[in-house]
Structure 1
Amino acid sequence: MENGSRSHTGESQIISSDSSSRRGGWITFPFIIGAIMGLSLAVGGWLSNLIVFLIQEFNVKSIDAAQIANVVNGSSCFFPVIGAIIADSFFGPFLVISISSCISLLGIVFLALTTTFDSLKPQSCLIGSEICQPTSTLQYTILYTGIALASIGLGGTRFTLATMGANQLDKPKNQATFFNWYFIGIYFASTVALTVIVYIEDNVGFKWGFGLAVAGNVIGLVIFLSGTRFYHFNKPQGSPFVGLARVIVATTWKRNLPLSSESKDYCYYGHEGVTNRVATTPSRSFSFLNRAAQKAEGDIKPDGTIAKPWRLCTVQQVEDFKTLIRIMPLWSTTIFLSTPIGIQGSLTILQALTMDRHLGPHFQIPAGSVVAVILVSGIIFLALIDRLLCPMWKKLTGHFPTPLQRIGLGHVLNVFTMAVSALVESKRLKFSQDHPGATTVPMLALWLFPQLVLVGVGEAFHFPGQVSLYYQEFPSSLKSTATAMISLVIGIAFYLGTGLINLVQKVTRWLPDNINNGRLENVYWMLVVIGVVNFGYYLVCAKLYKYQNVQDTDADGSLESDKKCCFFFF
């Protein structure tokens, strides 16, 4: 910029005054990627092995530990929605990410303390006995405070970082490329956590593993703050949800107002809730909502502004509300798409604990590390889809697969995954029955890999499809919320999974504390049935849905957002 002022002295003041607006671009990429990798390493260090940690360090029963892990995973996925709303509405992504990283750091430090000081955890159970020292109130307080703070911190960082990174770039193609590398960073860091850190926790000690998680959080926070001078900061314009709420109130208030077909009778401008996009005429779908933007006596001041915002909205606010209504049925189908995955993740770890995890005479795979197969297969198949399958699809059909098609393939693979899981569990249970009393079933844990690979392949289809759909279709004022919608789905899915497991335990004998005495394969077959029904529901919703924000089409009619076939998402 100094060189520019020497050669163009007449423009120096303009350059100076616009310096803040010229921030952003690819120079911010290393800081965003470095931050997400450090923070993902920290999250993986404490969350991925939580079931084993609770069983070994706090004497929690296996099914209870799996249920606790599901609740924690669910909470960790709900908090990003809150973080996104706060970032969109009040403080902006940068401040939310900075504060949340500090909260996450404090929570992991609490967890590290429970592994460092013997007074903060109960004594181990006697070998061969179920008699264990009860956990004290103080010990539970430190444990759950650490988990809560770490979950809240996660909520304010991961998905808000995704939006902040995309905000640094202007072109959809560059944003797509950013999402690719951004989530490659998440997958890579999570894989390291699931393998290296979990191995250290199982073989050296949880205090060393949690210590590495603390270090990862600190490194991620430092890298993120180091890029402050380069970031472009979007100013929040107040809560977009207030504008959406006004649509409901105004529609109710004017429910008896006759609808007008004249465009001049509707409000298009007027207060801070107006988004960057400007709707020209109200659409005919959900026409009863158009009353919220229809002008009535006393709604407009003499200067042309809105007199009572809760009685008159803009057409754009109404159209944004309609967009959310249209996409909600599709969004709801992804809840039962993610529920089986959440249930399978925790139950697979319990299966691995009962199986032979040795690779050679001296190395044993940590039970918490087996789910790393999902990440590895996800990375491989995301690359294959992006470089091989999508171009092949384009040659055969003339266009790239749409987000809805990608999500549909994810549904099919999800059903197939649960069927394979049921067959593998039937074989594991047969080995267990053939060797009664054995603490370890003489069956290699490698048998679990095919179902985990299928999970990764399915995620490579439906997660990118979901983030592409929401980011493309959501109103511009809700972009942070759009990227967090996947997190909300996963959070609800974990809670539903927890409730479903509780229901199964109450009405059946399929899930005792010792799964060798149960019928876990029946749980998987139940999930197959749920998946088939949900896929049918999805097909109906997808058939009825019409894309709302089809922009920047190329010569062959394909969406600009589809030119990059895949968004990586975890």
Structure 2
Amino acid sequence: MANSESQELDLNESVSVERQAQTPLPGGKKGGWITFPFVIGSFMGLALTGGGLTANLMVYLIQEIHVKSIDATQISNVVSGCVNFFPIVGAIIADSSLGCFSVVLISSCITLLGMTLLNLTATLDPLRPLTCERESSFCKLPSKLQLAVLYGGIAVVSIGIGGWHLTMATVGANQFDKHEDQEIFFNWYFFTFYTSAVISSTAIVYIQDNVSWAWGFGICVVSSLIGSTILLLGKRFFHRDKPQSSPFIGLARVVVASIKKRKVLLSSRIEDYYYGRDHGKAKTVDVTPSKSFRFLNGAALKTEGDLTDEEGSIAKPWRLCTIQQVEDFKNLMRIFPLWSSSIFLSTPIAILLSLTILQALTMDVHLGPHFKIPASSILVLVLITTSIFLTLIDHLLCPTWQKLTRHSPTPLQQIGLGHVLNILSMVVSALVESKRLRVAHNLANSNIVPMLAVWLFPQLKLAGIGEAFHFPGQVSLYYQEFPASLRNTATAMVSMVIGIAFYLSTALIDLVRRVTAWLPDDMNRGRLDNVYWTVVVIGVLNFGYYLVCAKLYKYQNNVDHEQVVNTEC
């Protein structure tokens, strides 16, 4: 196996890294491509489990537990929110105390426990209500015990999924020293993510609906067990960084210390600033604190009484910080505008996915004379498209870009292209809906429009292509630009964006229903096209905001983005 510091991994050989990783790294060094099959194999098993739960949870609650439709929708929304918000909690724990590998391992075990509880509700008769006809008034409601086991299992598995969901990306990226290897890993990581989502949304959902819920959830339990086992088998190969202390406390100290010293006159001399107790022992080059956000530099300015001895021990921790802590805080402030622009990048996607189902319900969903597409399954096209284009980007588009420009595409360029494709997706959605409404208005008293649902494919494909650019681009950017002590938090920030976008899209749709007549119960009497055009305007404005942020932003940890490169990305 090639050592990540001594050999380049050719892109054309990246598909066979599993076969290469058979022996430990020379010299006992851990990390590198030998860990790749363990990370991807473990993630595949866990991702199948997560998809098998979230893709069909609402149907299970309604059909098997006799939960009312609105209540089932709310529970599903809460689960989606937890899955996308809890990575922040897991990241904080990883960065502060346990480390990302331990968080992933513990979370995978929690996922297995929660999925086992849910499988028991589908397997054991005492843990679920008696079967009855759907919407029958004689359906027996679940008992308190049954609800306790059900909701307990859902809560546990949601916490577990949130724990490893994006922290696993940090585990994998931490195994590589070279930025090119990290980018290749991220592409494979997201390819695995979307492939798993397609499999769970089709094969596992089919088994749940047509064979039995016990078999469907049972497969999820087995896949979770396999994922956890693969992670354990590769434990001895992983390079693991153990955090020394909570970086968040250090960041909080920067704020407090800068406020306390807001009236202190700043110095231009390097020796007047605090670089850490072991600064004199390390062979480092002193740098003057950056001029941006200059008011924060006072937090690292040494004043009388700040130090206890000549060795540099801090007497008042909330009055003095290191230059590194100050610069880390500045990095977060610099990247926050870019992160905020991603919220309205993901919100249109969430709106598109929910409203496309409403469109499909009013259209002809046949493919050929015998095959009929379930309305909710049409969204799988986004996942399939994203999976395909992640591979094309890695093998075709990225090498072509380098041949034309002699540079690697930067994360900001990838995200920007994702913005454009998202806007185009919403434009196509508006045009298709306008055509659907014209056809509907020419009919009398018909809820189904004689228009094939394949008309919806272009907008979903564009959304999928856009996601293949901006989603990995965001993870790569945050992982690269966040302070090294906050790498787990960096990848979790992408998940947080999705969670915010999920709830924001719900709020926007509710607002539209309250103030306009564009979204009635009968979609043929509404103006869904106006909703799409509104989102297009929001997307264009947000893209302009992104361009300003990207233009003003300077890479803090620049690696080969400004240099001519000869290797494939």
Normalised TM-score (structure 2):
0.86
Determine the C-alpha separation between the residues in 2 that align with 1:473 and 1:108. 36
Structure 1 residue 532 corresponds to structure 2 residue 540: yes
Give the Å deviation of 1:531.
Answer: 0.9
- Deviation, 1:427, is 4.1
Q: How does 1:427-442 map to 2 (within 5 A)?
A: 427-429=435-437, 441-442=449-450
- Per-residue Cα deviation, 1:325-379 (whole angstroms, up to 9, x for no partner): 0000010000010011122223333444454434345543344432221122112
Confirm or deny that 1:328 pairs with 2:332.
Answer: no
* The one of 402, 410, 424 aligned to 2:432: 424
**Deviation of the 1:547 alpha carbon:** 1.4
The 1:126–1:22 alpha-carbon spacing in structure 2 relative to 1, beyond 3 Å, is closer
The aligned residue for residue 13 of structure 2 is: none
DSSP 3-state at the match of 2:463: helix
Alignment of 1:166-205 (within 5 A): 166-205=173-212
Q: Note the alpha carbon deviations across 1:228-259, whole angstroms, 9 max, x for none.
A: 22222221212111111000010011111111
Is the Cα–Cα contact under 8 Å of residues 277 and 316 in structure 1 kept in the other structure? no
Do 1:202 and 1:366's aligned partners in 2 also have CA atoms closer than 8 Å? no
| Residue number in structure 1 paired with 2:553 | 545
Greater relative CO, 1 or 2 (CA 8 Å, sep 6+) = 1
CA RMSD in angstroms, aligned pairs only: 3.2
Question: Deviation per CA, 1:244-292, whole angstroms, max 9, x where unpaired?
Answer: 10000100111111111111110011389x9999862200111110000
Structure 1 vs Structure 2: percent identity of aligned residues?
61
Structure 2: unaligned runs, 5 residues or longer:
1-24
The partner residue of 1:402 within 410, 427, 433 is 410
2:452 to 444, 457, 469: 444
Contact between 2:350 and 2:502, CA under 8 Å: does it hold in 1?
A: yes
Q: Quick check: 1:70–1:497 contact (8 Å CA) kept in 2?
A: no
SS at structure 1 position matched to 2:306: coil
Assess if the C-alpha contact under 8 Å between 1:21 and 1:232 holds in 2: no
Q: Which amino acid aligns with 2:182?
A: Q
Write the letter of the residue equivalent to 1:483. T
**Aligned partner (choices 409, 414, 423) of residue 415 of structure 1:** 423
Mapped partners of 1:507, 1:67: distance in 2: 23
1:91 to 86, 89, 98: 98
Superposition deviation, residue 63 in structure 1: 7.3
Task: State which drifts further: 80-89 or 509-518.
Answer: 509-518
CA distance in 2, matches of 1:34, 1:395: 33
Q: Given that residues 425 and 521 in structure 1 are in contact (C-alpha distance below 8 angstroms), is that contact kept between their aligned partners in structure 2?
A: yes
Please tell me whether residue 307 in structure 1 is matched to residue 315 in structure 2: yes
Are the structure 2 counterparts of residues 271 and 519 from structure 1 closer, same or farther at C-alpha, using a change threshold of 3 Å?
farther
Amino acid at match of 1:424: V
Distance in 2 (alpha carbons) for counterparts of 1:365 and 1:277: 62
> What is the one-letter code of the residue matched to 1:245?
A
Moved more, 486-495 or 225-234: 225-234
Q: What is the number of equivalent residue pairs in this alignment?
A: 542
SS in 2 for 1:370: helix
Please, which of 57, 77, 80 is the counterpart of residue 73 of structure 1?
80
Which residue in the other structure is 1:38 paired with? 45
| Displacement after TM superposition at 1:294 (Å) | 0.2
Q: Give the structure 1 partner of residue 563 of structure 2.
A: 557
Task: Mark the runs of 5 or more structure 1 residues left unpaired by the alignment.
Answer: 1-17, 566-570
Tell me the equivalent position of 1:10.
none
For residue 48 of structure 1, the aligned residue among 48, 55, 71 is 55
Please give the alpha-carbon distance, in whole angstroms, between the structure 2 residues aligned to 1:242 and 1:254. 18
1:507 maps to: 515
The match for 2:500 is 492
Paired with 1:402 and 1:83, the residues of 2 have a C-alpha distance of 28
Equivalents in 1 of 2:460, 2:228: separation in Å?
32
In structure 2, distance between residues paired with 1:421 and 1:533: 18
Equivalent in the alignment of 1:8: none
Partner Cα distance (1:448, 1:146) in 2: 36
Residues 277/344 of structure 1: CA separation in 2 closer, same or farther (3 Å cut): farther
Residue of structure 1 equivalent to 2:479: 471
Q: Equivalent residues in 2 for 1:142-161 (5 A)?
A: 142-161=149-168
Q: Report the alpha carbon displacement of residue 405 of structure 1 after superposing the two structures with TM.
A: 1.7
Q: Structure 2 counterpart of 1:533, which letter?
A: L
